[in-house]
């Protein structure tokens, strides 16, 4: 039986997330064989640590683990870096040089950022993985290498394959054992544990009192998206430890170091073509947000109608008689057939209010008398402010999910930290 806690202690892995535990279990299980492993996950989640776990728990642990960042090597020299070269192969090749694969012979090679590998090199790498044979640059001599490959990427490889940027055959050769590492925002239960660990380490190093999160500070940290993942959390913890004199970190202190995006994501509207590509069904949320976005447009239309009515009333009061044929066709139709939009809780309905024919004659012969103009009342429809629309959208989402902020944030397509900030800003309980 695999002792996950022992592995965590050995490699200083903090957290109890279920998906993280599963990935650790898989890594230890596959360490004993020579199948290729592809580790996927965002930058900063600890993919390099998993390459060490796999290598050091395998039969190859007494040989080299060679780590290569494929994205950091210039395209012109990457073949020489991976497979080596012979003297005279190019201008600066003044002696023979081993490549990373030869250095890792009998051990493990960790190819980080494999998605950045040029297509030409992908074909050569595939040949080495399939046959175990390689040639140094400038040489015709084939060399045998016995290397276990662990690759990692933060790229969406399947998307890269569709775009012709990554070879399908190489993907399946590397992806014999897939391991996914979740981002920190999906490990909310681990954020406070990691913070305490980093705060304790920095306190021991600089002989100071460790930081402590208050309830508001904890909630702020948990709801922050952490796009830099564990690396970002560690850096921020170190910054606050050194700069802040206060040892109890509130949300106000955290805000100085962790600024949310100033761009509001409410309301977040879908373009029509995007909706049609993803689904044929318009959701309640889409209907609501579309209705909110139409408010300004409807207001402007009604204002135009009001202005037209004012003009007509002023003309009639001055004694000028107007035939309906003197009005543009579309303007007459707008008065005759005014669109009134009623936005229900999760629906948008359209109601057309038709006036009687004798209210607005449609013949050139009959003139509109002052006492016949029965509908000169100006309708004032102040546009609902964006702030109020955001408040309503948030309240409806919270009501729908019985106050569950996580589900409400998902409903609104915003992060929990943005929803938290909006709740405080608008005073919504």
Please indicate, yes or no, whether residues 170 and 189 belong to a single structural domain of this protein.
no
- Assess if residue 137 is contained within a domain: yes
Q: Which pLDDT score is estimated for 415?
A: 84
Please indicate, yes or no, whether residues 199 and 247 belong to a single structural domain of this protein.
yes
pTM reported for the whole predicted model: 0.60
- Assess if residue 117 is contained within a domain: yes
- CATH code for position 191: 1.10.8.60
Please indicate, yes or no, whether residues 172 and 238 belong to a single structural domain of this protein.
no
Please indicate, yes or no, whether residues 315 and 178 belong to a single structural domain of this protein.
no
- Assess if residue 276 is contained within a domain: no
- Assess if residue 394 is contained within a domain: yes
- Assess if residue 267 is contained within a domain: no
- Assess if residue 10 is contained within a domain: yes
Taking CA 233 as the corner, what is the angle to CA 231 and CA 234, rounded to the nearest 5 degrees?
65
**Is residue 198 within 8 Å of residue 234, measured between CB atoms?**
yes
Give dist(CA 232, CA 210) in Å, integer.
18
Chain centre distance of CA 155: 13
DSSP per residue, 113-142:
TGGGS-HHHHHHHHHHHHHSEEE-BT---E
Give dist(CA 415, CA 413) in Å, integer.
7
- Assess if residue 273 is contained within a domain: no
Please indicate, yes or no, whether residues 355 and 314 belong to a single structural domain of this protein.
yes
Q: Which pLDDT score is estimated for 118?
A: 94
- CATH code for position 392: 1.10.10
pLDDT tens by residue, the chain, 429 residues: 578 899 999 999 999 999 999 999 999 999 999 999 999 999 999 999 999 999 999 999 999 999 999 999 998 899 999 999 999 888 888 899 999 999 999 999 999 999 999 999 999 999 999 999 999 999 989 999 999 999 999 999 999 999 999 999 999 999 999 999 999 999 999 999 999 999 999 999 999 999 999 999 999 999 999 999 999 999 999 999 999 999 999 999 999 999 764 343 333 333 333 333 333 444 455 555 555 556 556 666 777 777 777 777 776 666 655 554 444 444 444 444 443 333 333 443 333 334 444 444 444 444 444 444 444 444 444 445 667 778 888 888 888 888 888 888 888 878 887 888 888 888 887
Please indicate, yes or no, whether residues 227 and 357 belong to a single structural domain of this protein.
no
Please indicate, yes or no, whether residues 146 and 203 belong to a single structural domain of this protein.
no
Q: Count other C-beta atoms under 10 Å from residue 30's C-beta.
A: 19
Q: Which pLDDT score is estimated for 200?
A: 96
Q: Which pLDDT score is estimated for 402?
A: 85
Q: Which H/E stretch holds residue 307?
A: helix 284-317
- Domain that includes residue 34, residue range: 4-182
Structural domain ending residue among the three candidates 155, 182, 209: 182
Burial (CB count within 10 angstroms: exposed 0-12, middle 13-18, buried 19+), residue 267: buried
């Amino acid at each position: 039986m695999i002792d996950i806690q022992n592995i965590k202690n050995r490699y200083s892995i903090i957290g109890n997330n279920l998906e993280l535990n599963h990935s650790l279990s898989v890594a230890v299980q596959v360490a004993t064989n020579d199948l290729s492993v592809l580790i996927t996950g965002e930058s900063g989640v600890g993919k390099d640590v998993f390459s060490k776990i796999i290598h050091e728990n395998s039969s190859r642990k007494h040989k080299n683990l060679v780590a290569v960042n494929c994205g950091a090597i210039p395209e012109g020299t990457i073949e020489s870096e991976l497979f080596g070269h012979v003297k005279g192969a190019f201008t600066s090749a003044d002696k023979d040089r081993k490549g990373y694969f030869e250095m890792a012979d009998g051990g493990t090679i960790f190819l980080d950022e494999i998605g950045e590998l040029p297509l030409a090199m992908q074909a050569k790498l595939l040949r080495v993985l399939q046959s175990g044979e390689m040639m140094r640059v400038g040489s015709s001599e084939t060399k045998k290498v016995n290397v276990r490959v662990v690759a990692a990427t933060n790229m969406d490889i399947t998307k890269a394959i569709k775009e012709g940027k990554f070879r399908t055959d190489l993907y399946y050769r590397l992806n014999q054992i897939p391991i996914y590492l979740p981002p920190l925002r999906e490990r909310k239960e681990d954020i406070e544990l990691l913070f305490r660990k980093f705060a304790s380490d920095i306190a021991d190093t600089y002989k100071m009192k460790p930081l402590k999160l208050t309830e508001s500070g904890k909630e702020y940290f948990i709801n922050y998206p952490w796009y830099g993942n564990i690396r970002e959390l560690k850096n921020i913890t170190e910054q606050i430890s050194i700069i802040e004199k206060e040892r109890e970190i509130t949300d106000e202190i955290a805000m100085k170091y962790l600024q949310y995006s100033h761009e509001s994501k409410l309301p977040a509207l879908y373009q029509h073509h995007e909706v049609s590509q993803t689904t044929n069904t318009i959701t309640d949320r889409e209907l609501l947000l579309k209705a909110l976005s139409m408010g300004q447009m409807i207001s402007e239309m009604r204002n135009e109608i009001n202005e037209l009515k004012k003009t007509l009333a002023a003309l009639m009061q001055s004694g000028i008689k107007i035939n309906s044929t003197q009005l543009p066709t579309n303007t007459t139709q707008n008065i005759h057939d005014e669109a009134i939009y009623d936005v229900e809780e999760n629906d948008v309905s359209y109601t057309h209010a038709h006036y009687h024919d004798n209210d607005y004659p449609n013949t050139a012969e009959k003139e509109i008398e002052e006492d016949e103009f029965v509908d000169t009342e100006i309708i004032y429809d102040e546009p609902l402010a964006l702030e109020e629309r955001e408040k309503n959208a948030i309240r409806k989402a919270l009501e729908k999910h019985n106050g569950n902020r996580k589900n409400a944030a998902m409903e609104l397509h915003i992060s929990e930290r943005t929803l938290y900030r909006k709740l405080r800003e608008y005073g919504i309980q």
